Amino acid sequence: MVPTVEWKNGAVRLLDQSRLPGAVEFLDCRDYRMVANAIRHLKVRGAPAIGVTAAMGVALGAQAVTATSYDEFARAVAGICDELAATRPTAVNLFWAIERMKRKLAELRTKPVSEIKRVLTEESQRILDEDIAMNKAMGKHGAALVQNGQTILTHCNAGALATAGYGTALGVIRAAWEEGKKISVLADETRPVLQGARLTVWELMQDKIPVTLITDSMAGALMKQGRIHLCIVGADRIAANGDVANKIGTYSVAVLARAHNIPFYVAAPHSTIDLATPSGDKIPIEHRNPNEVTTLHSGPAIAPAGVEVLNPAFDVTPAALITAIITERGVFKPSELSSQFSA
Ligand code: MRU
């Protein structure tokens, strides 16, 4: 797999996911505003990938600040952090990563600005490296829940593309596959932006993991026919009570899974767990451009001009519908998260 995000010759290089699967193109961001735009316009997307990219955006922006006193430098970096934080509201990894960069900046207040710039860049790389390590650990824990011969339904893209590498939900699937289990994946296309059709399918086909594409409306019938054994999805934010915000349509999958007695798992690292948000109804839900609904991947209109459109990008699955949450520290019931992950 090509890297989703990396430092390359002093720039933040992103695989432009808005062009997939038609073209594999890279975007070299040479200033932090380009990074912010790439996040806003889904050139990079997926909660952990957004966090890693924002951390790199902070470091990139910091490098260009000309101030030599700490206070002036820190004020400029705080402004950069604010702009990056305003790109998307739901995935908590964005705020988690920016806060981590701010903490690092504060720790370095007695150091020369040139050194702070270097350490901030190193910190962003550490966030990237840790993300991959967490995904691999999550994969190991989660793979134990997957049996030989099973078919797994996933929604949206929670793969290498949505993270610094390996993936969360797809990381579990990858790990089970690497253990030699003969599994197959059903990928929901995931309207409106088609992350399932465009990204999950592309990514799994690269790794030769058997995958079949379905439209979102097919999942219930396939569950009824006994053709889905478990569901694994990622998360954009997990509240303290275990409620999970993820791509719109996830809630429908969870309801269907419960109705058919099929386990429903969420895979996410600790950077997605937001203990400051008590429950799912407090999670801010992003509403995106109606064009995403009235076209298919920016193609010709599929609805009459001027139609009223709703386009919430995420929904909340209540903890009660979640069998377990797979993390880098192990597999927990939603109700166990707050004690397992409190500081
Ligand atoms: O709008 P997106 O594509 O950023 O939404 C992504 C998702 O909902 C993913 O399932 C989630 O971020 C988990 S990614 C490991």
Q: What is the pLDDT of residues 185-198, one digit of tens each?
A: 999 999 999 999 99
Report the pLDDT value the prediction gives residue 109, as an integer from 0 to 100: 97
- Over range 251-269, report the average pLDDT: 98
Given strand 314-317, what is the order of strands in its sheet? 273-274, 237-239, 244-247, 314-317
Q: Is the CB of 132 under 6 A from ligand 1?
A: no
Q: Is the CB of 246 under 6 A from ligand 1?
A: yes
SS (H, E, C) 116-183: HHHHHHHHHHHHHHHHHHHHHHHHHHHHCCCCCCCEEEECCCCCHHHCCCCCCHHHHHHHHHHCCCCC
- Over range 316-342, report the average pLDDT: 97
Instruction: Say how far apart CA 32 and CA 38 lie, in whole Å.
Output: 10
What spacing in Å lies between the alpha carbon of 221 and ligand 1's midpoint? 25
Residue 238 backbone phi and psi in degrees, to 5: -115, 120
How does pLDDT run across 198-225, given as a tens digit for each residue?
Answer: 999 999 999 999 999 999 999 999 999 9
What spacing in Å lies between the alpha carbon of 114 and ligand 1's midpoint? 35
Report the pLDDT value the prediction gives residue 261, as an integer from 0 to 100: 98
**Residue from 195, 266, 297 whose mutation best tests the ligand 1 pocket (most atoms within 8 A of CB):** 195
Would the pLDDT of 343 be above 80? Answer: no
Residue 267: Cβ-neighbour burial (10 angstroms; 0-12, 13-18, 19+): buried
Instruction: Say how far apart CA 157 and CA 155 lie, in whole Å.
Output: 6
How does pLDDT run across 35-72, given as a tens digit for each residue?
Answer: 999 999 999 999 999 999 999 999 999 999 999 999 99
**Residue from 156, 163, 189, 200 whose mutation best tests the ligand 1 pocket (most atoms within 8 A of CB):** 156
How does pLDDT run across 220-255, given as a tens digit for each residue?
Answer: 999 999 999 999 999 999 999 999 999 999 999 999
Q: The tokens of 220 are what?
A: 């219930």
Q: Which letter does DSSP use for residue 319 in this model?
A: G
Q: The pTM is what?
A: 0.98
Report the pLDDT value the prediction gives residue 251, as an integer from 0 to 100: 99
Q: Report all structural domains of the chain as residue ranges with CATH numbers, in order of start.
A: 5-136 (1.20.120.420), 140-340 (3.40.50.10470)
Residue 236 known to be catalytic = yes
What spacing in Å lies between the alpha carbon of 254 and ligand 1's midpoint? 16
What spacing in Å lies between the alpha carbon of 158 and ligand 1's midpoint? 6
Q: Which letter does DSSP use for residue 89 in this model?
A: S
Band of the pLDDT at 331, cuts 50, 70, 90? Answer: very high
Report the pLDDT value the prediction gives residue 212, as an integer from 0 to 100: 98
Mean pLDDT of the residues in the chain: 98
Contacts of 18 (CB under 8 A, 6+ apart): 41, 42, 43
Q: Among the options 131, 188, 236, 243, which is catalytic?
A: 236
Long-range contacts of 16-24 (CB under 8 A, 24+ apart): 16/43, 17/42, 17/43, 17/44, 17/45, 17/161, 17/198, 17/199, 18/42, 18/43, 20/161, 20/198, 20/199, 20/202, 21/198, 21/199, 21/201, 21/202
**CA-based nearest residue to 87, from 122, 123, 47:** 47
CA-CA distances (angstroms) from residue 260 to 48, 247, 302?
31, 21, 33
Instruction: Say how far apart CA 42 and CA 19 lie, in whole Å.
Output: 10
> Measured in whole angstroms, how far is the alpha carbon of residue 135 from the centre of its chain?
12
Per the DSSP assignment, residues forming a β-bridge with 224 are none
Band of the pLDDT at 1, cuts 50, 70, 90? Answer: confident
Given strand 5-8, what is the order of strands in its sheet? 5-8, 11-15, 26-29
